[in-house]
Structure 1
Amino acid sequence: MTTKAYETADETPEEISPYDLPGEWFVIHSYSGYENKVKANLETRIKSMHMEYRIFDVHIPMEDVVEIKSGKKVTVSRKVFPGYILVRMELDDDSWYAVRNTPGVTGFVGGNNKPTSLSRREVERFLGVRKEEERAKPRFKPAWEVGETVQVVAGPFADFNGVIETINLDQSKVVVLVNIFGRDTPVELGFDDIRKN
């Protein structure tokens, strides 16, 4: 009796946490909007100073967000923490100096003398270690806020104006207070059923 290699190949290996990789994760601060430039500067500096064996990874946490632009849903990537960059490194005087003196880096998050490394929970949360079903669905960023007046564009309340009372991102719904017969009446609507006034 022979066994085929592909019979056991369908077992999926367990995903390795970024926390378990060599080094510790630290957060550095940069000017907001310059994160990509600072990352490129730091990666160039790591190579030129031969620090690849002490500074392992430079990462800008990103997330997919659904925004409504011109009435259409568009998925865009945005920085989770504008102005902050994650660095995985072995912290010593040389690696600290290399990172700290990179153009655009304003400092480490934590104490001035000794930066604080991230915990396992923080690393996994910031780097997006999630279950597969959570990873597949981008977050929606509504174009409106609680308290904002919107126009209902679909359903029995079409052409009515109302004030947003609550926003439920998980269900893609809002509760809008619509004035019906002189009374504010809460109406649950989908994101597609309203637009900015």
Structure 2
Amino acid sequence: MNWYSLRVMSGKEEKIKNNIFRELEYEKDIAENVEDILIPTENVVDIKNGKKQVKKKVFFPGYILMKMEMNNETKFFIEGIDGVMSFVGPKGSPQSLNDAEIKRIIGSFDADDDSVEVMEEIPFKVGDSVKVIDGPFKDFNGLIQEINDKNRIKVNVNIFGRPTPIELSFNQILIEN
């Protein structure tokens, strides 16, 4: 069995995966040709109002990976399911993914829960005007000067009329409107 990439409606990957499994329950002979269906996702930490929220984000929006035995019957069955557009490949002939591609894709996430390690999405950029909401500089305003790779932010705040650099974490500041 080989891995194939299936083009589906973006944002509906999980629903379509469930539809495929549901339809396969009624077609046992075709179900024998399908070994696995994956939607690679990652857990992303998003900071809103100073609070961290973990959200699942699809690695490849609009695509599902299927490990299956390809033949005309399985191809037309899968492509006939609502929300499925087509298999990826030249002119209607599905192209299997090579081993190096699969190892790179599957190796980057945990196959048990289809998700990779938590990555923090940076909601700030250099030059943003921010307000400190926590710590000894609470209620001070300033400008972001630097964002380092340790998820710390250097902000210049005015203390006694002079710009003073302070280092803060993401959850200690909010973007000013």
Q: Structure 1-normalised TM-score?
A: 0.68
**Could you say which structure has the higher strand fraction?**
2
| Aligned residue in 2 for 1:193 | 172
Q: 1:93 offset after TM fit, Å? A: 1.3
Measure the CA separation in 1 of the matches of 2:78 and 2:152: 44
Q: 1:165 offset after TM fit, Å? A: 4.8
- Partner AA of 1:33 in structure 2: G
Gaps of at least 5 residues in structure 1 are 1-22
Correspondence 1:49 to 2:27: yes
Gaps of at least 5 residues in structure 2 are none
Measure the CA separation in 2 of the matches of 1:102 and 1:164: 51
Q: 1:114 offset after TM fit, Å? A: 2.1
Instruction: Please say which of residues 151-160 and 85-94 is displaced more in the overlay.
Output: 151-160
| Aligned residue in 1 for 2:54 | 75
Q: Label 1:86 to 1:175 Cα distance change in 2 as closer, same or farther (>3 A).
A: farther
Q: Label 1:152 to 1:120 Cα distance change in 2 as closer, same or farther (>3 A).
A: farther
- Partner AA of 2:173 in structure 1: I
Measure the CA separation in 2 of the matches of 1:165 and 1:86: 39
Contact 1:45 1:98 in 2 (8 A): no
Q: Label 1:162 to 1:113 Cα distance change in 2 as closer, same or farther (>3 A).
A: same
**Could you tell me which of 160, 167, 175 is aligned with 2:141?**
160
Q: 1:126 offset after TM fit, Å? A: 2.9
Measure the CA separation in 1 of the matches of 2:40 and 2:91: 23
Q: Structure 2-normalised TM-score?
A: 0.75
Q: 1:143 offset after TM fit, Å? A: 2.8
